[in-house]
Amino acid sequence: MMSKTIKKVGVLTSGGDSPGMNAAIRSVVRTCAYHNIECAGIYRGYQGMIEGDFIPMGPRTVHNIINKGGTILKSARSKEFMTVEGRKKAHDQLVNAGIDALVVIGGDGSFTGAEIFNKEFNFPVMGIPGTIDNDIFGTSHTLGYDTALNTVVECIDKIRDTASSHNRLFFVEVMGRDAGHIALNAGIGGGAEEVLIPEEELGLERLLESLKKSKAAGKSSSIVVIAEGDKIGKNVFELKDYVEANLPEYEIRVSVLGHMQRGGAPSCFDRVLASRLGVKAVESLLEGKSNFMVGMLSDKVTLTPLLQAIKGESVIDRELLRVSEIMSV
Ligand code: F6P
């Protein structure tokens, strides 16, 4: 039995955008329509909430967006929402607009805002994890991660063509400020020689050793995937200079993939995930639940308390490190 207390759900996207956010907006809007409640889109994340930048949304306003990257609601990182005054303004705007529950699509920064907002105003909130980094506790996949992995692997495949034509070593930098999920999985999927991630201090010496070994093993070209948050202590260009100075036999090129990883049409996996999580978020709110993140664990849609999702660590699967090492023999 659905509770009757919620009449209008607000939905926003916040923080770094990710492919699949539009599919999640669509799912939230259509689930609201399915249960005969209203839905309002909130533009530019929490900043738009403070400014009352709302738009009524119905099933037809979200047509033709399931296949689109980015977010039609736009995203922002709001400094004002970090203040009590900002959050008070935002609350007043929601009350004025008759919005009585909130779905926040974003990463842990966005969830932290939602959690505080819930505590301060006892306002029902649900989080949907949307970030390409996959660094959120309580879900095996965040929205956009699968798409980003496929984008990165496609780029590595192209880089491989030119690397092998010139017998070159390529350093490919991928996104992941604090997490190496993209680097590790795309590294394995792209057949990288080495993967450098923030969670694991490989060390410069080991990198040199590994590159020496691969030359000795008869490899004429190689790809090293480096997460942008890697802790080796040098940025990717300094790393190139360092390796070239120590291993002059290598001709190295750097490719920083950057924001292209965040764009593009979401994969089928991300579209299905977004649809499932949106349904669960709205229906959980209607059941009177609040302050959870919806996620997916072992292919089941689950609820994790927002605080746990924020505080918990999304750990790297160490078996993947071993697989990566074995594959580069
Ligand atoms: O959090 C997702 C992410 O794409 C990180 O991997 C990256 O470090 C960051 O966002 C970049 O943020 P911005 O687009 O604000 O520079």
For the annotated catalytic residues, the residue numbers are 133
Considering the entire predicted model, what is its pTM?
0.96
Is there a contact between 304 and 295 (Cβ–Cβ < 8 Å)?
Answer: yes
| Final residue belonging to a domain, choices 205, 236, 262 | 262
Identity of the amino acid at 126 = M
325: Cβ–Cβ under 8 A, 6 or more apart, which residues? none
> Would you state the structure tokens that stand for residue 291, as one six-digit string?
């302050």
Q: Do 220 and 203 share a structural domain?
A: yes
Task: Say how many Å lie between the CA of residue 40 and the centre of ligand 1.
Answer: 27
For residue 24, name the pLDDT band (cuts at 50, 70, 90). Answer: very high
Taking each helix axis from N to C terminus, what angle separates 145-166 and 181-189, rounded to the nearest 10 degrees?
A: 50
> Is there an atom of ligand 1 within 6 Å of 88 CB?
no
Q: Do 162 and 45 share a structural domain?
A: no
252: Cβ–Cβ under 8 A, 6 or more apart, which residues? 168, 169, 170, 171, 240, 243, 244
Dist. CA 152–CA 59, nearest whole Å: 33
Q: Do 139 and 23 share a structural domain?
A: yes
- pLDDT of 201: 83
- Which candidate, 295, 322, 329, 290, places its Cα nearest to that of 119? 290
- 86 is in which domain, residue-wise? 8-144+266-311
Task: Say how many Å lie between the CA of residue 284 and the centre of ligand 1.
Answer: 29
pLDDT tens digits, residue range 139-167? 999 999 999 999 999 999 999 999 999 99
For the chain, what is the total number of helices (H) and then of strands (E)?
11, 11
> Would you state the structure tokens that stand for residue 44, as one six-digit string?
């530019």
pLDDT tens digits, residue range 279-322? 999 999 999 999 999 999 999 999 999 999 999 999 999 999 99
Q: What distance lies between CA 222 and its chain's CA centroid?
A: 28
Q: What 3-state class would DSSP assign to 292?
A: strand
pLDDT tens digits, residue range 51-87? 999 999 999 999 999 999 999 999 998 999 999 999 9
- Is 224 within a domain? yes
Show the beta-strand stretches assigned E in the chain: 8-13, 38-42, 54-56, 101-106, 125-129, 169-174, 194-196, 222-227, 252-256, 292-297, 300-305
> Would you state the structure tokens that stand for residue 34, as one six-digit string?
């399915």
Is there a contact between 46 and 125 (Cβ–Cβ < 8 Å)?
Answer: no
Q: Do 164 and 103 share a structural domain?
A: no
- Is 119 within a domain? yes
- CATH code for position 202: 3.40.50.460
pLDDT tens digits, residue range 180-212? 999 999 999 999 999 999 999 888 998 999 999
Continuous H helices in 44-98: 45-51, 84-96
* Side-chain-side CA neighbours of residue 329 (13 Å): 4
Which atom of ligand 1 is nearest to 132's Cα? 2
> Would you state the structure tokens that stand for residue 69, as one six-digit string?
């990257």
Three-class SS string for 299-319?
CEEEEEEHHHHHHCCCCCCHH
Q: Do 179 and 89 share a structural domain?
A: no
- Is 1 within a domain? no
- pLDDT of 230: 86
Going across the sheet that includes 222-227, the strands are 194-196, 222-227, 169-174, 252-256
> Is there an atom of ligand 1 within 6 Å of 6 CB?
no
- pLDDT of 233: 76
Q: Do 114 and 94 share a structural domain?
A: yes
Q: What is the DSSP letter of 137?
A: T
Which atom of ligand 1 is nearest to 175's Cα? 6
Q: Do 271 and 133 share a structural domain?
A: yes
Q: Do 177 and 93 share a structural domain?
A: no
- Is 75 within a domain? yes
Q: Do 163 and 74 share a structural domain?
A: no
Task: Say how many Å lie between the CA of residue 131 and the centre of ligand 1.
Answer: 9
- Mean pLDDT, the chain, integer: 96
Q: Do 181 and 82 share a structural domain?
A: no
- Is 2 within a domain? no
- Is 66 within a domain? yes
